Each structure stands twice: as structure tokens, then as C-alpha cells.
Amino acid sequence: MIIMKKSFIIYLAAGMLATGLFSSCKKEIGSLNGPEIEDLTTNPTRFQLNNVVIGTESGIRTALDFYLDAVGVVGREMYRFASSEPRYVQSLMGKDGQGLDNNAFYLTNPWNARYRGVKACNILIEGATNSTSITNEQRKGYLGFAKTIKAYQLLLNLNLTYSNGIRVDVADPDNPGPFLNYDESLKAIWDMLNEAVTDFTGSVIEYTLSEGFFYGTSSPAKPTVAQMIQFNRAIAARVALYRKDWPGALTALNGTFFDLNGDLKKGYYHVFSTRPSDQTNLAFFRQNATGEVRVAHPSYAADILPGDDRLAKAPLRTNPASADQPALVSNRDVFVYTSNLAPIPIIRNEEMILIYAEAKIRSTSYPDAIVALNRIRLAHNLPVYTGLANENALITDLLYQRRYSLFFEGHRWVDVRRNDRLASLPNARVGDTIFDKFPIPLTEGQ
């Protein structure tokens, strides 16, 4: 990841993107009248705008570990054991009728981090709009980036609160817009992504992004307009899937690097380093850790098909880990991110192949869907699909492939929820609750 320049730290005195001065909630937002923010929104230079882009990309990695833990535990992908934090196995799992806490770290940390990303994007939009130091083509490049990242951040928070909705209009912290319901929020995110494509068209890119946007490379670079549009359309394909807009998902995929026969890992990633002013991947825990532990739900190994090489994402521990014995026990670590520098995917080709397969199933194009499912099955040492060629059977296989291909990437809970299969999630402890959504955070005043 690019090291944030000293001047950027100065401009955002107190580290707006790094330490969380801002969030979506008016009550938590600091003064917006300081000279640092005015410098970035009134008439910033290209250098200042580029620094906002750098800081935005850096900042949107914050609290991803909390997000992955929250949706992973609620979705019964894994257990999170922490000797100092019982809420991972109590309220987050609905023990003894407990509900989700609207002021708990597992919600407020990722929620606020995503809205800090939104705030950074809004600053970039205002700054690029008002700058007289850039051409209109350059302005469009900044606007396209800001709207794409803003949409992505909003989508992650919507994944948490689902039918409780999100605020989309938070540009004015003194007068934030209302909470939109789930469908309205998805539509607003979809429209924002489409606006960004319009901005990118005919634009000039002046900023540098990390190596996470250039799969297979080890250094930052300036992206092309085509690459930025491909990233945008990849996120749009995911949104279209959530909206049950099957033609829209397929059309969006056509604008990406989606490739049925291509590298499954190719895509866009959050990257990490140990350099000054950077951060490491906190979703990594070493194997056989104690005290602070992430372990796969026992059903991960129990449900996997013979020979499936994705079992390697949950290797056996030397000793099982447990909490609330004997109810919660696992003998397999979550080991998707194998070092503290391992990248976290934003979206990659394997997910896009599965988006294609799902859209084809729902469009009753079963032969095309089976071709896509077989691409994933064969890549992971499974035989070709021989089940029934109908919607229910193919969706069942699709959800299996998504479960194992996208393990601990933040998808399982969302996938079973949007396919009305929450009841299929396992409960090892009698009396636990499978939640379908998180509450609106207390700080939002709802």
C-alpha cells in the first residue's frame, strides 16, 4: 500500500481518515470548519486531490477484520474466541435469547469505518468539483473514483443492516438524509455506480493507486480509465445480483475482466504492509493461536465434498479451540489470510464466475450455468456437476461453491439471506439465534 505523505497527514490534522474524526452520524462528526478541510474542498490543487485519493484507498481497509468477524460469526462460517471479549460468542450468536447490541464494537467499528470512507469520498467530490487547478477531464476521473468507492462502502454497511437500511445522503453532516430501506438503498448504490461510469467516460486519471488494483504486480501505478471502469462494473455486477436484476448482472460483467477460463484470483484487493503510516492485515491469526482465535465452524469440514481442495482454508489445529464448553468447539483454524501482509479481496474473477452462474440459473439458462459451475468445481478438484438441471438444485450447488470459494471474504451470511436459506445455517448450541440483520447503531439516533 502507498505510504501516506506527510502533507496529507497535515491537511487532515488529527488524521481524519486514519483515526476516525468523522462518521455518518452527526453526533460523532468533528468540526468541518477547520482550515485543513477547507483547503481540500474550496480550491484544492491536483497534488492535494491525489493525496485524498491515497488516503481514501488506505482508509477503506480499516476495521475490515471486525466486518469479517461479524458477518462470519452471524453467518455461522466461523467462531471468534477471545478470552477478553465474550460478546463474540454471546450476543453475536444470540445466546439464551440475547439480541444484537446496537452499540457494540462488532457493529460500530465497521459501520463507522465505512462512513469515514464515504466522508473521504464526499470531500474528494467537493474538492474536485471546486478545483480550478485541474481540467474537466481530470475532474471526471476524480469524481468517478469517489463515487465508485463511496458506493462500495455503502454496500458493505447495507450488508450489515439489510432491511433496516442505511443513510445514503450524508454530504451535509448537520442535515443527513433519511434512512432508505433495503431496495431504495440498493437502487441508490446502483445509480451511483452508473454515474461514476459516466464520469469515467472521457476522463483523464491523474492519481496513483496501490498494487491491489493491479493483480500480480508489486508496486503502485496510475490506473487506466478502462481499469477503473472494470472495477466499477465488477462492484455493479454484485449489486445487480443483490437486486435480483439478472440481465443487469450479466451486462455489468461484460464491462469487467470476467473470464470463465481466466485466473480465479485475478481481481482487486486491499493490500497491507509494515511500512510507516500503513497497516497490517488484522484478519490474520497464526495457526494454533490461543487467547485470540478464529476457527472454522465444524460444519465447514463436515459439509465439504470429498477431495475439495478448499478444505485447506481451514487446516487442522494441534489442539481444538473451544468456548462455552462443550457447546462451541472447533479443531480447524480459519487460515484464509496466511500472513499479516496477505491481501483481502474486494472482488475477483472467481466471484464474478459465480455471479455469472447465478444470473444464468435465475434466467433459466441452465447449460451456461453448469459450464460456469464446472469451471469452479474442476478448479477445486471436484468432478463435473451431474445433478438435476433445475433452479433449486443448481442454486444449491451454486451456494456450496460460493461458501467454499469465498470463505471468510464476507459473503456467506449475505448469500443465504438473499436466497431465503437462513434456516439452513447450523446451530451447535441450543437456544442460539440466527439473525438476519444488525440494528441501526445507537449513535444514529434512530
pLDDT tens string 139-185: 999 999 999 999 999 999 999 999 999 999 999 988 999 999 999 99
Beta-strand pair 78-82/292-296: antiparallel
Whether residue 338 has pLDDT greater than 50: yes
The residues with which 221 forms a beta bridge, in sequence order, are: 209
Asked if residues 206 and 46 have their Cβ atoms less than 8 Å apart, the reply is: yes
User: Residues near 226 by Cβ (< 8 Å), separated by ≥ 6?
Assistant: none
Q: Which of 64, 78, 34, 89 is nearest to 298 (CA)?
A: 78
Question: In which band, very low, low, confident or very high, does the pLDDT at 446 lie, cut at 50, 70 and 90?
Answer: low
Q: Which three cell numbers stand for residue 65?
A: 477484520
Q: Smallest Cα–Cα separation from 220: which of 202, 236, 208?
A: 208
Angle between helices 46-59 and 105-130 (to 10 degrees): 160
pLDDT tens-digit map of 392-429: 999 999 999 999 999 999 999 999 999 999 999 999 89
CATH topology of domain 6-279+343-348: 1.25.40
What value, to the nearest 5°, has the Cα angle with vertex 37 and ends 13 and 176? 115
State the DSSP H helix or E strand holding residue 395, giving kind and residue range, or none if neither.
helix 391-405
SS3 category, 297: coil
Residue 299, Cβ neighbours under 10 Å: how many?
Answer: 15
pLDDT band at 8 (very low <50, low <70, confident <90, very high): very low
